[in-house]
Structure 1
Amino acid sequence: MDQHADPQHPDPQHPDPQHLDPRAVLAHLARGTRAGRLVHVRTVPAREARTVPWPTWVAPPVTAAVQGAGIGELWEHQARVAELARAGEHVVVATGTASGKSLGYLLPVLTAVVEGADAASGRGATALYLSPTKALGADQAARLHALAVPGVRVATLDGDTPPEERRWVREHAHYVLTNPDLLHHTLLPGHERWRAFLRALRYVVVDECHVYRGVFGAHVSAVLRRLLRVAARYGARPTLVLASATVAEPQALARALTGQEVRAVTEDGSPRQEAVLALWQPPELEDGRRRSTLAETAGLLADLVDVGVQTVAFARSRQGVEVVAGRARDELADGGERRPGLVAAYRGGYLPEERRALESALRERRVLGLAATSALELGIDVAGLDAVVMAGWPGTRASFWQQAGRAGRRGSPSLAVLVAADDPLDSYLLAHPELVVDAPVEACVLDPENPYVLAPHLAAAAAELPLTREDVRWFGPTVPDLAEQLVAAGLLRRRPTGWYWARSDRPGDHLQLRDAGQPVQIVDTATGRVLGTVDEDRALTTVHAGAVYVHQGGVHVVTDLDLESGVALVVTGDPGWTTRPRTEGDFRVRVVQEEQVWGAATVSTGTVEVTHRVVSFQRVLPDGTVLGTHPLDLPERSMTTQAVWWALPEEELALAGVAQEDVPGALHAAEHASIGMLPLVATCDRRDVGGLSTAHHPDTGRPTVMVYDGRPGGAGFARRGYREMSTWLTATHDLVEGCGCATGCPACVQSPSCGSGNDPLDRTAAAAVISHLLSERAVAVPAG
């Protein structure tokens, strides 16, 4: 059902959180001066459950434990997953949030453990559960301990597990909950100590597998293949069960991750109460700008908390989370609400005990409002949430549905509000709501043969077991060539029986799956307390000397950043401004892999080397006034990655009506808008990619606009953009051409992360350039 009219509050009383009516709550939010901000409303109707009888093969202790928890029948997709896994077929289940995916794999896994425990062989069957976050693993552990299936020993193995406990896990645990990082750093390098566990390995569960995309996904793919290879060494052929939020092509994703043939289960048989989805536009202010997305989100969060509607507000960044939580607290205090801790922030960089305490407070409703990053997007059981507010488009439709699904997880209706950011894609989606609620979700993109990722994993695999040509079955056809490159680099030694690790240290010690560099600790100089951590690359832009850093509402100023020791020192105090880094960058084309000729233009994809350096920072008042710019002396970063770029001759720009002096602003604006619109065709956030533009590039000999993957070796996003170039650029043109601003604004061509402060930018000239480029497509001819 569509509803475009502004709703009126049907009842002067507050909405009743015990019997949530999402329409009444939305009407409450849209009352009075907020009435014009509601742009679009869509109701997703309720769905009836489809159940099947209980499988007869489930071990009686498992049946008793699960049915004792109140589950007597299975939903169709749960039964289908359970039957396939029980039969030994690799399977991926991709159904909606709160659809009970875990029960589908727990039945065969726990049954195998119980049956094995009865065997005379001793230990019996084992299983591994892999999650992308500690919080999700802890949540799964709590569920298993609550089931308390007799004879099943469950253990968590992560970076916090003490050495003496790890030995017990190796020797006695049946079901081990861990993560890809620990597999890579601990279990696989020490596989001989784990041989009894690996010999008995029957199942490997890969939860929330849609998270494994881009470069991180390529790393995890290599780790999973290394695991299967080592397990085979001990005679084990574990069945893989992957679980995902709803994604396009889950079977292709699972195949790319594992290198195995996988069956897909996508028909969701779980019930769902109706969900009301709303698109919300912050108001325009007197100076022509719109109220910030974070301020608008904070206001909605405070209003929902005030009437007892438990709500999570998602923000795109750690700083944004702190701003939303702080402003919501302030608004509640202004309204007379004095309950401490009613609104909290939840994000990466917090210490583990802080996160566990927040999760507990949320479950017990001691916290009614939570501002969070996507760290809470995954399937952590925070039952009871009534509403979700998103501060800006979360990057993909898959993430949108995942975040919206955090509410209504216990059989009640729910409300999800997307507050549009001043961002090109958000603006486009407000005008095309069907792309939010009707279009299919995106396919996850990853390249398991990315040589920058695969080569170091082959070195790690060779340290685990000698690498041979037979290992193409696990890692693909590039194994021999990459192994020889590792020999030339002195990392491997070639012998008649294969390739061997040639050094005394371990290869995994130098390889981080999440490509974050060494963590930088943020330390309060007055107390010596560690406030949190940030990865090295992010440290250059967020905790450089002079930066303003916010933690749980407390404002600090960085006095020193020591990258060598991995420490940023801060002092407490709010100077009254925020800080914004400024960067410089350049790129060189290394390899042109594919090219299209569009008349006088060329559209290309390939390998580039990108360099960038943080050169200064600005002090910025809340109204946007820049107080000053201050130089920084920080190291230059360079990486080789994948990119897509287009180039037009200067005379073609003149034909498009762009004067020579306007070319830099036109190309810069086109670059920003293209970055903002890439998530329309690729499974990425604009922060996953970068861009550069120049009025003359030495490698193309022409004015050039380039968009690149933000991780070494590439993540697949630029390639997807190349394949969808016409769709991508057409949407970009429509957005830039249709914006009502004069010279360029955040809704079209300004970027919040522009290293040059959004100068120069020329929206009108950018629209003309892209229009001319698209017109050249009509005379496209094949390259070469």
Structure 2
Amino acid sequence: MLEEKAALYRLLDYICSTSGEWEVVFKTLLRSQNPCFKKDCNLNLHPLISSFIQQKLLYSHQAEALYHLGLGHNICVATPTASGKSLIYNLGVLNAFTLEPSTKALYIFPLKALAQDQAKKLQNLAKTIGLKIKVEIYDGDTSSWKRKKIRENPPDILITNPEMLHLGMLPHFHLWENFFKYLKFIVVDEVHTYRGIFGSHLAWVFRRLKRLCNYLGTNFQWIFCSATIANPLELVSQLTDISPVLIKESGAPKGELHFLVLRGLFNPAGACLKMLQQTKELGLRTIVFTKSRKMTELISMWASKRQSKVVPYRAGFLPIERRKIENSLFSGEINTVVSTSALELGVDIGKLDVCVLVGYPGSIMSLWQRIGRVGRSGRPSLVVYLGLEDSIDEYFLQHPKELLTAPLEKAVLNPFNPYILKQHLMCVLAEHTLSREEINKNGIAQTLEELWQEGRILRTQTGDFVSKEKNPQRKINLRGIGKRYNLFENNKWIGDIDGFRVYKETHPGAIYLHAGEEYLVEQIDEEHKVVILRKIRSTYYTRAIVEKQTTILEINRQQQWDNFYIFQGKLQITEQVIGYEKRKKGLNFLLGKVDLDLPKIEFETQGFWVKIPENTRCLVEQQNFHFMGGIHGLEHLLIGLLPLILLADRNDFGGISTPFHLQVEDAGVFIYDAYPGGAGLSEQAFEQIKYLLKRASKMLFACKCENGCPKCIQSPKCGSGNRPLDKRATKVILQDLLKIVSKNILKIQKIEKAKAKKVKVKVNLTKNFAVLDLETKLLAQEVGGWHKAHKMGISCVGVYFSEKDSIIFFQDSELQKLWELLLKQDLIVGFNILGFDFKVLQGSLKRNWYDLPTLDLLLEIKKKLGYRLSLDHLAQYTLNAQKKGNGLLAVKWWREGKIEKIIEYCKHDVFLTKELYLFGRKNGYLCFKNKAGQIVHVPVHWR
């Protein structure tokens, strides 16, 4: 330890004496603390356990936790990293096992790596004590043969993860009765990670587990372990509907810790690389935490060129890759690892000396988790915080002491997110029938009714709801809302990506980084949810250009200061990646832009929005400042600083600024949870908006730049390339808003206590609508596939206009006239119009076809059933009519010059589409024949 301490001081001297790469902003020493011991747990202990404890000695929080376990209480231990939480549940379970050999325990860890690590620790502990227990890991890496053996002969302690509990155990609960009948403990480690969307899913996984155990009459204890957060009891209550005993005062020792805050003078990543060179020469084992996957890959790639034994570590790696890295770190074969938050958790990777934080981790809780990775067993350690060019990093560079003194954030989740609730109710029905009592007690009758209307569950003649699918669990991604896309390079699977990030990060033409390698995205296969990559070496990087729109669906709460309003409620968000920029590496200058034609993503979520008063706009424009640039800067600034008050990062939020919003009737800045249904974040931010505005003003006026920079109003994730932005206008807006706030304190207090009024946007049935269908000159295989439909050419476009009650036909040369007529319609109806017709039209006339108010019957039916039905099939069983041709014949007729036949065929397809639309609009359903040969109804609600 003396050698490491000497090396650590040499590194400190080097950092503090070097001024070329960085500036030392703050330096402090956190002295070591003595632990508080307590020998007597006042428990009914087996002699073997008692003897071990007397030799080991327990910290005070460990003894207190074991005492409550002995009394049969549920407990939540919320103490810092490396404070010995795993010893608590392992001793508690082993003691129960010695007193009652039939005892079973279920351990749940958020990561497979943790499961592997804790299994080894548990077996070593049992061996040390002198006990023989059977421990098994049941996860995605367990073979089918091994899984069957585990089910047939359950172990004493089963270790798994949330995904395996959700996919492998709950759907087959009857196969696990021999295990769950004797279940006495459920251990949930790293419970602070179960927040946001992940936590909202887990709340229902735990409810499903409790429900099935209740049917067996099982009585068990919960043991929760968490990092130190502001609201551990509230989090556990939201997750499981129980209130455990909280143990939060740690008695574990803390080694001497040096804490430095540095400002990178040129390139923060370059400063990090220079520091890593020094840690290597001094033999100090180092972990670097970054804020993004891309940064992780870049730093490790650049560092590997200068020195050996540097590897990246992040989510998305294959299991075998992660295990290899973890083992190499523990053995010392690798002395430096660059990681995202994936290594924040308690995987034992050995004793580390230095922790480098490249950018603010996103929360004070994560900051202390990462700090806890070094200095274990009382060893001296060094933590270096290296600020990035980012608004929140700049804030802490100006107020560095707050990094160590700021209060911990709350963990927030939303179990009643409608998207998540519906997914898990489908699982509940598949696992065990819901009784009427359960439906009434939990207030889920309305949601079940909606699921039936959506065609996702079935209803019996007696009115009971039953599952439509055998395994609905397989369609749920617990760590997100969207489906996962698999990444393939040369027919080799290299990882996956969430469906809500796939267009932004892996759009065609994107440069994607994985495991230190660069890949060019060649294609997205929507049908099979696959992204095709090709390994390359590029001189540029890419950034997606995104267009966004929002509609206010419901106002839940509002705050008012004079003529300044802030609202919170439900929003509908429409996002579309319309292209991307190519930028030169290092120099960052623009090389060019590429247009893309990708599907829109629409979802409902929770958000808050600021109505900018007309007087404020006038103040900005009187000074000839750019008003849109000002509100855009305010949006970026607020999102960048939200992690100061929430356990979240800027990627958990989206934002939209508009100089005039029809529903707001003024300019507005919208900030929303970037997940369908919301994660509870924006509701909490709304309550602290005054505090957030003050912090934003303080940050903005402290930044010394003239026109706006990444430290204040520029955003690294801006979909419009940080254009337009006007820092001067943002200053005027913030000053004026805060002036209004300061004069009307009493008024806001009264309004906050007033009962919230809900305002719903009405959706009216369409009066003037058009029905569109077209035929092409070429076949898909002749142009290289359906994804190149824009090259197929147009032979004929047929459109029915309801106000004229007639069909008009258009040729290639008349598409501008068609566009102008469609702009006047309330709705354009088609069958596969979004997936095909608009793509073909885009190839002949560059217009924003996808911005038209469109109803795609094929897409609507697929949303309800999960699979496609043809126009011919729906027409046959709904209208007792059939098509008169197909696309192959239409191309043949074009080549033969038989345009009249094409027009007749197109006219009939337009007629069938129109009649299906009108039938569904009138009756609320269409008819089709299912696989069982029955004529059944699919509910439809045309909007």
Give the TM-score of the pair, scaled to structure 1: 0.91
Task: Answer whether contact 1:582 1:615 (CA < 8 A) is retained.
Answer: yes
Q: 1:494 to 1:86 in 2, by over 3 A?
A: farther
Please report how far the alpha carbon of residue 95 of structure 1 lies from its aligned counterpart in structure 2 after TM superposition. Answer: 0.5
The percent identity for this pair of structures is 32
Task: Answer whether contact 1:618 1:628 (CA < 8 A) is retained.
Answer: yes
Mapped pair 1:406 → 2:373: yes
Equivalent in the alignment of 1:57: 44
Please report how far the alpha carbon of residue 189 of structure 1 lies from its aligned counterpart in structure 2 after TM superposition. Answer: 1.2
Amino acid at match of 2:342: A
Equivalent in the alignment of 1:596: 559
Please report how far the alpha carbon of residue 90 of structure 1 lies from its aligned counterpart in structure 2 after TM superposition. Answer: 1.1
Task: Answer whether contact 1:491 1:501 (CA < 8 A) is retained.
Answer: no
Amino acid at match of 2:659: A
Equivalent in the alignment of 1:12: none
Q: 1:504 to 1:363 in 2, by over 3 A?
A: closer
Structure-1 separation of matches of 2:562 and 2:521: 52
Q: CA offsets per residue over residues 396-417 of structure 1, 9 Å max, x none?
A: 0000000111011232011111
Task: Answer whether contact 1:91 1:265 (CA < 8 A) is retained.
Answer: yes
SS in 2 for 1:172: coil
Q: 1:567 to 1:479 in 2, by over 3 A?
A: closer
State how 1:190-205 maps to structure 2 within 5 Å: 190-205=172-187
Equivalent in the alignment of 1:367: 334
Structure-2 separation of matches of 1:744 and 1:85: 56
State how 1:516-665 maps to structure 2 within 5 Å: 517-525=482-490, 528-622=491-585, 623-655=587-619, 662-665=626-629
Equivalent in the alignment of 2:73: 89
Equivalent in the alignment of 1:682: 646
State how 1:381-530 maps to structure 2 within 5 Å: 381-468=348-435, 470-471=437-438, 477-492=442-457, 499-515=464-480, 517-525=482-490, 528-530=491-493
Mapped pair 1:773 → 2:757: no
Q: Which structure has more helix as a fraction of its residues?
A: 2
Structure-2 separation of matches of 1:421 and 1:305: 23
Structure-2 separation of matches of 1:657 and 1:665: 11
Q: Which moved more, 1:590-599 or 1:459-468?
A: 459-468
Structure-1 separation of matches of 2:75 and 2:439: 23
Task: Answer whether contact 1:139 1:381 (CA < 8 A) is retained.
Answer: yes
Task: Answer whether contact 1:17 1:308 (CA < 8 A) is retained.
Answer: no
Amino acid at match of 2:344: E
Structure-2 separation of matches of 1:463 and 1:88: 33
Q: CA offsets per residue over residues 513-532 of structure 1, 9 Å max, x none?
A: 1125333333333xx43333
User: Radius of gyration: which is bigger?
Assistant: 2
Task: Answer whether contact 1:180 1:220 (CA < 8 A) is retained.
Answer: yes
SS in 2 for 1:191: helix
Q: CA offsets per residue over residues 192-239 of structure 1, 9 Å max, x none?
A: 111111111111111101111112111111111111111111111211
SS in 1 for 2:495: strand
Q: 1:733 to 1:226 in 2, by over 3 A?
A: same
Equivalent in the alignment of 1:706: 670
Q: 1:415 to 1:655 in 2, by over 3 A?
A: same
Amino acid at match of 2:15: L
Please report how far the alpha carbon of residue 656 of structure 1 lies from its aligned counterpart in structure 2 after TM superposition. Answer: 5.2
Task: Answer whether contact 2:487 2:533 (CA < 8 A) is retained.
Answer: yes
Task: Answer whether contact 2:448 2:465 (CA < 8 A) is retained.
Answer: no
Equivalent in the alignment of 2:163: 181
Equivalent in the alignment of 1:164: 145
Please report how far the alpha carbon of residue 136 of structure 1 lies from its aligned counterpart in structure 2 after TM superposition. Answer: 1.0
State how 1:219-230 maps to structure 2 within 5 Å: 219-230=201-212
Q: 1:728 to 1:411 in 2, by over 3 A?
A: same
Task: Select the residue among 110, 123, 127 that pairs with 1:145.
Answer: 123
Q: 1:565 to 1:487 in 2, by over 3 A?
A: closer
Please report how far the alpha carbon of residue 322 of structure 1 lies from its aligned counterpart in structure 2 after TM superposition. Answer: 1.1
Equivalent in the alignment of 1:308: 283
Amino acid at match of 1:295: G
Amino acid at match of 2:295: G
Amino acid at match of 1:436: L
RMSD (Å) for aligned C-alpha atoms: 2.2
Amino acid at match of 2:475: H
Equivalent in the alignment of 2:726: 762
Q: 1:355 to 1:275 in 2, by over 3 A?
A: same
Unpaired runs of 5+ residues, structure 1, are 1-14, 118-123, 284-290, 333-339
Structure-2 separation of matches of 1:349 and 1:682: 26
State how 1:743-758 maps to structure 2 within 5 Å: 743-758=707-722
Please report how far the alpha carbon of residue 500 of structure 1 lies from its aligned counterpart in structure 2 after TM superposition. Answer: 3.6
Task: Select the residue among 273, 294, 310 that pairs with 2:269.
Answer: 294
Q: 1:280 to 1:497 in 2, by over 3 A?
A: farther
Amino acid at match of 2:145: E
Task: Answer whether contact 2:21 2:264 (CA < 8 A) is retained.
Answer: no
Q: 1:47 to 1:616 in 2, by over 3 A?
A: same
Q: 1:62 to 1:172 in 2, by over 3 A?
A: farther
Please report how far the alpha carbon of residue 556 of structure 1 lies from its aligned counterpart in structure 2 after TM superposition. Answer: 2.7
Task: Answer whether contact 1:20 1:413 (CA < 8 A) is retained.
Answer: no
SS in 2 for 1:706: strand
Task: Select the residue among 241, 263, 284 that pairs with 1:281.
Answer: 263
Amino acid at match of 2:408: V
SS in 2 for 1:253: helix
Task: Select the residue among 77, 83, 86 that pairs with 2:61.
Answer: 77
Q: Which moved more, 1:92-101 or 1:767-776?
A: 767-776
Structure-2 separation of matches of 1:39 and 1:229: 54
Mapped pair 1:207 → 2:189: yes
Q: CA offsets per residue over residues 687-728 of structure 1, 9 Å max, x none?
A: 111111000011101100011001111111111110001101
SS in 2 for 1:281: strand
Structure-2 separation of matches of 1:207 and 1:39: 36
Structure-1 separation of matches of 2:349 and 2:714: 37
Task: Answer whether contact 1:463 1:500 (CA < 8 A) is retained.
Answer: no
Q: CA offsets per residue over residues 320-344 of structure 1, 9 Å max, x none?
A: 1111112222344xxxxxxx4x111
Task: Answer whether contact 2:430 2:469 (CA < 8 A) is retained.
Answer: no
Q: CA offsets per residue over residues 620-678 of structure 1, 9 Å max, x none?
A: 11201111101112211111111011102333321356667711100100000000011
Q: 1:615 to 1:85 in 2, by over 3 A?
A: same
State how 1:338-349 maps to structure 2 within 5 Å: 340=308, 342-349=309-316
Equivalent in the alignment of 2:875: none
SS in 1 for 2:100: helix
Task: Answer whether contact 1:592 1:607 (CA < 8 A) is retained.
Answer: yes
Equivalent in the alignment of 2:345: 378
Task: Select the residue among 596, 619, 636 that pairs with 1:672.
Answer: 636
Please report how far the alpha carbon of residue 42 of structure 1 lies from its aligned counterpart in structure 2 after TM superposition. Answer: 2.2
Structure-2 separation of matches of 1:136 and 1:516: 24
Q: 1:702 to 1:75 in 2, by over 3 A?
A: same
Task: Answer whether contact 1:299 1:327 (CA < 8 A) is retained.
Answer: no
Q: 1:265 to 1:659 in 2, by over 3 A?
A: same
Give the TM-score of the pair, scaled to structure 2: 0.76
